[in-house]
Amino acid sequence: MVRADKGAVLVLPADGLDGAHEPRRLTLDRDGLVATDDGDRLAPTVGDWLLVDEGATVLRARTTALVRDTAGATSRVQALAANIDIVLVVEHLDPDPHLGRIERLLTLAWRSGAQPVVVLTKADLVPDPEGMAAEVAAVALAVDVHTVSVPTDQGLDALRALLAPGTTLVAVGPSGAGKSTLVNALAGHDVMETGERRSDGRGRHTTTHRELVPLAGGAMLIDTPGIRGVGVVADADALDTTFADVAGLAAACRFADCHHTGEPGCAIQEALDSGELPERRLDSWRRLAKEAAYQARRSDVRLRAEERDRWKKITKEYQRGMRGPGRPRS
Ligand SMILES: Nc1nc2c(ncn2[C@@H]2O[C@H](COP(=O)(O)OP(=O)(O)OP(=O)(O)O)[C@@H](O)[C@H]2O)c(=O)[nH]1
Ligand SMILES: [Zn+2]
């Protein structure tokens, strides 16, 4: 699936992912959901595979999914993209890259099951892009960090090397980071509108929808609108990967339930004192860990509510059956 449209999705045939085919419109049921193999119903997202047969559409199980927890009390996670291999965490070098945002997006990426790669854009606007990249690399553990500039073509070959046939990449990052510009540069022609001011003076283009762009070489790229600070992205496992250094230290504290707030034998406190662990990184971890804990509690409540609703429905159906005559039962 390449794009969600009002009450419908745009789909490409599996053998039509060469960039030469026009997507086809597929109308969805009223609720906008599609049945999955295991009897669930999900809202299809960009990157999903839909098996379309006469009348029936089935959503294939996702290998990976970029998900964000939505704010509503009853709503579930929202899938931003599915079946992706690489998440490009795009951040500008000018203004200065925001380390906390990179950590947040890396957590979103790790949670998806795909491999994150950090892309620092606008290298042409700063005197020392490599020095800045080293600072970012220090917070992006086990992740490649690339610096690029689209106007000078700097660093783009390293990204082109990621575009193996069949590979799906998604670009995430704040508005104005240069995601659409990057997608266009990698596609070799303009497929996404970018933030240039329009000549008719009607403001600037920003990406308003997620869209899958099949590239000539057989890779697929998904551009996303700028992800704002809202939307919880953390879960405990993903956090431990993003903050492997903090998690490792915490495991070395004397008390297993150490809060790292002055307890004796606290390895985190020692690392802060020695300068090995920057205060900023610990704060960033604490903030995301708090969100993850809150989210876990909320989803517990939600699961229990769903279970209750399911039983209510079953009971109602049963009572209706008892009341008869109704439909004959098979
Ligand atoms: N100098 C320079 N400018 C760049 C570079 N990449 C992007 N820009 C500019 O940055 C602005 C924002 O770029 P976009 O590609 O629209 O940003 P985006 O991340 O897609 O933004 P949203 O669609 O709002 O999420 C545009 O004016 C681009 O021309 C770069 O490598 N160097
Ligand atoms: Zn501790």
Q: How far is the CA of 176 from the centre of ligand 1 (A)?
A: 5
Query: Cα separation of 57 and 77, whole Å?
Result: 22
Domain residues of the chain, as ranges?
A: 3-64, 82-223, 234-323
Phi first, then psi: give them for residue 41, nearest 5 degrees: -130, 130
One digit per residue, the tens of pLDDT, for the chain of length 330 reads 777 776 778 888 777 666 566 778 888 888 888 888 888 888 888 898 888 877 788 888 999 999 887 665 555 678 889 999 999 999 999 999 999 999 999 999 999 999 999 999 999 999 999 999 999 999 999 999 999 999 999 999 999 999 999 999 999 999 999 999 999 999 987 776 666 544 444 444 555 567 888 888 889 999 887 766 546 667 889 999 999 999 999 999 999 999 999 999 999 999 999 999 999 999 999 999 998 888 788 777 777 777 777 777 777 777 776 655 545 544
The residue whose CA is least distant from atom 13 of ligand 1 is: 178
Q: How far is the CA of 140 from the centre of ligand 2 (A)?
A: 22
**Helix/strand/coil (H, E, C) string of 185-217?**
HHHCCCCCCCCCECCCCCCECCCCCCEEEECCC
Q: Which residue among 181, 192, 223 is best mutated to probe the pocket of ligand 1, counting the most ligand atoms within 8 A of its Cβ?
A: 181
Give the domain 82-223 fold.
Answer: Rossmann fold (3.40.50)
Q: How far is the CA of 92 from the centre of ligand 1 (A)?
A: 9
Cβ-contact 9, 44 below 8 angstroms: yes
Atom of ligand 1 nearest to the CA of 207: 23
Helices within the chain (DSSP H only): 99-112, 129-137, 156-160, 179-187, 236-242, 244-251, 267-274, 279-323
Q: Which residues are annotated as a binding site?
A: 121-124, 173-181, 253, 258, 260, 266
Domain made up of 234-323: CATH architecture: Orthogonal Bundle (1.10)
Q: How far is CA 139 from CA 98, 102, 104, 288, in A?
A: 11, 8, 11, 14
Rg (Cα) of the chain, in Å, rounded? 23
Query: Cα separation of 60 and 131, whole Å?
Result: 44
Q: Which residue among 132, 146, 154, 180 is best mutated to probe the pocket of ligand 1, counting the most ligand atoms within 8 A of its Cβ?
A: 180
Closest ligand to residue 171's CA: 1
Of 287, 302, 278, 271, whose CA–CA distance to 239 is shortest? 287
Specify the 3-state DSSP secondary structure of 58. strand
Atom of ligand 1 nearest to the CA of 148: 31
- pLDDT (0 to 100) of residue 267: 98
Of 59, 60, 68, 136, whose CA–CA distance to 96 is shortest? 136
- pLDDT (0 to 100) of residue 20: 64
ipTM above 0.90, yes or no: yes
| Placement of tokens 């950590």 in the chain | 103
User: What are the structure tokens assigned to 43, written together?
Assistant: 């809202």
Consecutive H or E run containing 104: helix 99-112
Q: Which residue among 194, 197, 211 is best mutated to probe the pocket of ligand 1, counting the most ligand atoms within 8 A of its Cβ?
A: 194
Query: Cα separation of 68 and 71, whole Å?
Result: 9
Query: Cα separation of 222 and 210, whole Å?
Result: 7
The residue whose CA is least distant from atom 29 of ligand 1 is: 196
- pLDDT (0 to 100) of residue 238: 94
Query: Cα separation of 130 and 77, whole Å?
Result: 37
Residues with C-beta less than 6 Å from any ligand 1 atom? 121-122, 124-125, 149-151, 173, 175-181, 194-196, 206-207, 225-226
- Number of Cα atoms under 13 Å in the Cβ half of residue 34: 26
The residue whose CA is least distant from atom 10 of ligand 1 is: 178
The residue whose CA is least distant from atom 1 of ligand 1 is: 122
Q: How far is the CA of 254 from the centre of ligand 2 (A)?
A: 7
Of 102, 263, 135, whose CA–CA distance to 272 is shortest? 263
Closest ligand to residue 94's CA: 1
- pLDDT (0 to 100) of residue 30: 84
Query: Cα separation of 149 and 162, whole Å?
Result: 17
